[in-house]
Structures are given as C-alpha cells and as structure tokens.
Structure 1
Amino acid sequence: MTHVTALDGFVPTPDRQREFRNVLGCFGTGVTVVTCMTDRGPMGITANSFSAVSLEPPLVLWCPAHSSHRFKAFASARHYAIQVLAQGQKDLGLAFAKDGFSFDHCAWEQNEWGVPVLTETLARFECEAHALHEAGDHAIAVGRVLRAHANEGPPLLFNQGTYGTFTPFD
C-alpha cells in the first residue's frame, strides 16, 4: 500500500466524480434491499448507504439517489423495510439494483403495514418514515424502526467495487 500524506489528494470537483467514488469505495459497507409498496405493486432498491442513527427512539437511515426512477416511490412511502443481505445473496442485491420489481427472485410476504418484506435475509428493519432530508444528489431517509429481526450468519459486504464477506479474527 502506498503511503499518502495529509497534503496529498484532490478536490472532488464534478469532473473528478469517478475518482471521488473510488475514494468513497475504500469504506466497506453492508448491502441492503429497501422495499415499499407502490401503486404498481411491491418495489425494491439495492442500497449500501445504511446506518443506525438512534437507539431512543429507534432510528435508522438510508440514502436514495434523486436520479433513481424509484426515488419518488420511496420518498413518499409512509412505511418501508430495510433488509440486510447475507453472504450468498449477491444475486438478489444485483437483481434489485437492476429492476425494482424483482420479487420473483426471492421469498417475500406483506407485513401488517402493507410493506413487502423479504423473508430470507440476514436482518430486517420495518420502518415508518420519520424524516427526509435533502443532501446534494441524494436524500437522507430516516426511518423509525417499528420491528427488527435478525438471523444467524455472515453479511454480504461491498468494498471497492467488489462483493465479499466478513471473516472474524480468532
């Protein structure tokens, strides 16, 4: 690895977006599929911009892009679910990245709030929309967690443009 000093680097201007994305990619993330119900039926979108916000009240966030043709559906959804993908679910994440109506690729059911929830993921946060904040070319969607669920197993991770898994130290 090359050593970089605090003085090295670049200004992330519009003409250097690819370079900026590459630097952002140095931060490994989990992979989620966010789902909601629309007039056209259940919709999903793959997102790696997920984070815990607060324990009291229980809040989480994710960041949909304004440029997504699915943005309006998620920005106006009163309820949605955030599913954390497990190792081995890369194809599921890729399916929802390409097509928001990819529910034929997975097991799902509708919860009591009418939200399509994926039944075989590592974790799930069933949320009520709490706040939507504008943030550049994305929005910050904050959800109040109404119910959470977790299964055993390793997560699917995304880092520097590739998918992988987590192996804990002994």
Structure 2
Amino acid sequence: MEGTPMEDFTSDPDEMKRAFSGFPSGVAALSARVNGDPTVMIVSSFAVGVSYNPPMVSFAAQHSSTTWPVLSRAQTIGISVLGEGHSDKTRQLASRSKASRFTDLGTVESASGAIFFEGAPVWLECTVEHSYPAGDHDIIVLRVLAMLSDDDRNPLVWHRQTLKMLDS
C-alpha cells in the first residue's frame, strides 16, 4: 500500500465488505430456548473485552435478521465460541432451515434456557444490556453472568469469507 494514491481510496460497499473480510474474527453461536423452541444465530462480529467490570461482550445484528428479534426475547443467551470440531456444522447452524439447525449437535442447556454447544472453547451465559443503532446493523452489548473456558480447544476463525482453524 506504500505509495498508493488517495484517489484509489473507495467507499464502495462491495469493496468495503471485501476489505473487512481480511480482518480475522472469531465465530460464535448465540443460542437459547425461546417460547419452547431452540433458537440459534451465528455471528462473526463477536467481540470480547468490551468491559471487564462488569464483564461485557458485543456483536452486530443486521436489521434484516429474522433470528435476532426472536433470540433477543430470551431470558438469557448462551454464547458458544465455535471450535475446530464445529467447522463442518457451522453452515448447518446458520441455515435458513430452522428445523435442522440442531440436528446431530451436542448441546447443554442452563436452567434459564441458555443453550451451549459441546466442544466449544468458551461458553458465556449472557443477558442483553444495551442496543445501539449503527447503520444497517445494531450493536448489541451483552452482560456476562457466568462463563466456562477450555484452553485445550482452539476457536474457529472467519477470514476472507472462509472458516479456518488456528494452529496450536
């Protein structure tokens, strides 16, 4: 990029999306039982360390999402940072076919209805703390009520629109 003229800068949405895909991010499943039904949403905009005291995390939800309005009504939401064992199941979890999202996946459910996926390196039980409008998304801040972490498991990473595994 050295010597790149300012005239080459762009704000084209497709170019912006492509450029943003060059920043690796973790992949998380947000899940809970809502009105008796298990509900899950996959996000690659998940961010930890928003606050440590009180502990808070965040993610961005598109305004066009049909899952977030349902999931946001849950008493608590389980966040499972997806790990290497989930790489072949991530697209299933993100499927438009809500009936098959949980097929053949091991889950653990808390008394409050938060759902966690077995094999995840990190589990966070959260409640919605804040929601802020941000263009075509909302920034959702979640308060972490409880957590569990397994340092022996590696997370999946979303980079250049592809799921990748971290080398240990």
Give the structure-1-normalised TM-score: 0.86
Q: How far apart are residue 40 of structure 1 and its match?
A: 5.4
Tell me which amino acid in the other structure corresponds to 2:79: I
Deviates more, 1:145-154 or 1:99-108: 99-108
2:92 and 2:5 mapped to 1: Cα distance?
A: 39
Tell me which amino acid in the other structure corresponds to 1:123: V
Q: Note if 1:39 corresponds to 2:35.
A: yes
Do the aligned partners of 2:24 and 2:159 also contact (CA within 8 Å) in 1? yes
Aligned to 2:63: 66
Aligned to 2:91: 94
Unaligned runs of 5+ in 2: none
Tell me which amino acid in the other structure corresponds to 1:39: N
Q: Note if 1:119 corresponds to 2:118.
A: yes
Aligned to 1:165: 165
Q: How far apart are residue 4 of structure 1 and its match?
A: 6.2
Q: How far apart are residue 39 of structure 1 and its match?
A: 2.2
Q: How far apart are residue 120 of structure 1 and its match?
A: 2.3
Cα root mean square deviation, aligned: 1.9
1:157 and 1:94 mapped to 2: Cα distance?
A: 14
Do the aligned partners of 1:125 and 1:145 also contact (CA within 8 Å) in 2? yes
Aligned to 1:154: 154
Q: Note if 1:48 corresponds to 2:75.
A: no
- Aligned-partner SS, 2:62: coil
Tell me which amino acid in the other structure corresponds to 1:103: F
Report Cα offsets for 1:50-104 as digits up to 9, x if no partner.
1120110000111111111112113333311111111131122111111445112
Identity %: 24
Deviates more, 1:86-95 or 1:136-145: 86-95
